[in-house]
Amino acid sequence: MQLRSFLSGAVVLFCVVASRPGAAQAAGFALNRFEPSERGSDWFVNDSLDLRGWANLAAGVVFDWSYKPLVLHEGGGTEGPALGNVVTDAVFAHSGVSFTWRDRFRFAFNLPVALYQAGDDRTALAPATTTPQGASIGDLRLAADLRVIGLYGDVFTAAFGLQLHAPTGRRSQLTSDGTFRLTPQLLMAGDGEGLLYAAKLGFGYRPLADSVAGRRLGSEAVFSIAGGVRVNDLFVFGPELYGSTVVTGGAAFSGRATPLELLLGLHVTLAKHWQFGSGIGPGFTRGDGTPSMRATFSIEYAPDVCVDPDGDGICAPSDACPEVDGVRTGERRTNGCPRGPEPESPKAVQPD
């Protein structure tokens, strides 16, 4: 019933947004390159693939501030002198909900809202890029994921995902392309005795046929990777490298067409249900949407679901032998495993 309601709502939203006249849209495009992971992840951009729970709900908000995400340069490239900042500062709030079903499926949505954007008016140099003013809603992101291999906490877990961005934002505010965007992707994650990693590879179909200060927009290859450590099952700390590159029009891996950022983040879990995070990092290229610096903060409600296949009372991520009834030892290598045989006592020496 819940799945049917979710799909029905998505169809209604598609019809409402698709019916809006395209001529009413001003020039502009979706500038913000920060796409937060679904709620409950141990990372900001990548996904830890925690799809536990028969019917589990997580919700939260992620804030991000970016400095100089759109700078115009002489000649339309990235090497010439800077002509001004179309956007100097931008603050977004990403509100989202994710719903996990039967330990394998996940449905989610994320709505970005530009709380503040400011910059220099450079419409005389680039009429297609206007400095946004005031608050504005961005493009609503709908997502569906299917776990195909592994469980949360295993050395390797993989899932297929699909994201749909509906044009609920405004091009004049640089929060939307004014068209639907579709991104199929492969998600991977793992936990090797407290050493965590995650990765994502996808293709972003971006049908907007437009130019921004001399650069053609187009469909993109999307990629990210993360690695870090988990401490005391409460803290996750590590860097995330993420970016994209336009693969149409022969612009792949050129400077302006390849946003690339690094984010060093920390997540902490409190009371098993609440998760807080903060991160900061630089942009490595001058791609459109890549800031000189980005800072993030998140607060999420993500109930800790205990999956215990062997019924020994030890949750699978902490159980070194998740398929065999065992005992709690507190040691990562032996926790949840059966006790070994008791050593035999030495036989008494019989007198002659």
* pLDDT digit string, tens, across residues 318-332: 777 877 777 887 776
User: Picking from 83-87, 208-212, 306-310, 341-345, which range would have the lowest pLDDT averaged per residue?
Assistant: 341-345
Q: How confident is the model at residue 222 (pLDDT cuts 50, 70, 90)?
A: very high
Is residue 25 scored above 50 in pLDDT? Answer: no
pLDDT at residue number 77:
59
What percent of the chain stands above pLDDT 70? 80
Give 249: exposed, middle or buried? Use CB within 10 Å, 0-12, 13-18, 19+: middle
Q: Which residue has the tokens 């793992």?
A: 190
Q: How far is CA 303 from the centre of its chain?
A: 19
pLDDT at residue number 2:
43
Q: Compute the average pLDDT of residues 117-135.
A: 74
Q: How confident is the model at residue 111 (pLDDT cuts 50, 70, 90)?
A: very high
Domains detected in the chain:
2-305 (2.40.160.40), 309-341 (no CATH)
Q: Higher pLDDT residue, 182 or 339?
A: 182
Q: Which two tokens stand for residue 245?
A: 């590159």
pLDDT at residue number 287:
87
Q: Compute the average pLDDT of residues 63-83.
A: 78
pLDDT at residue number 320:
75
pTM: 0.81
Cα gap 16→14, rounded to integer Å: 6
Cα gap 87→119, rounded to integer Å: 4
pLDDT at residue number 74:
62
Q: Which two tokens stand for residue 59?
A: 């919700």
CA angle 145, 202, 274 (to 5 degrees): 45
Closest C-alpha to 297, from 117, 171, 115, 122: 115
Question: What confidence tens digit (pLDDT) does each residue in 177-192 have?
Answer: 999 999 999 999 999 8
pLDDT at residue number 305:
74
pLDDT at residue number 76:
58
pLDDT at residue number 112:
98
Q: Which two tokens stand for residue 25?
A: 């849209």
Is residue 161 scored above 80 in pLDDT? Answer: yes
* DSSP 8-state assignment for residue 317: G
Q: Higher pLDDT residue, 101 or 288?
A: 101
How many Cβ atoms are within 10 Å of 216's Cβ, its own excluded? 15
Is residue 300 scored above 60 in pLDDT? Answer: yes
Give 61: exposed, middle or buried? Use CB within 10 Å, 0-12, 13-18, 19+: middle
pLDDT at residue number 184:
98
Q: Compute the average pLDDT of residues 9-36.
A: 60
**C-alpha atoms less than 13 angstroms from C-alpha of 276 in its C-beta half-sphere:** 2
Question: What confidence tens digit (pLDDT) does each residue in 266-298 have?
Answer: 999 987 789 999 999 999 998 889 999 999 999
User: Picking from 46-50, 85-89, 100-104, which range would have the lowest pLDDT averaged per residue?
Assistant: 85-89
- Beta carbons within 8 Å of 19's beta carbon, 6+ residues apart: none
How many Cβ atoms are within 10 Å of 237's Cβ, its own excluded? 16
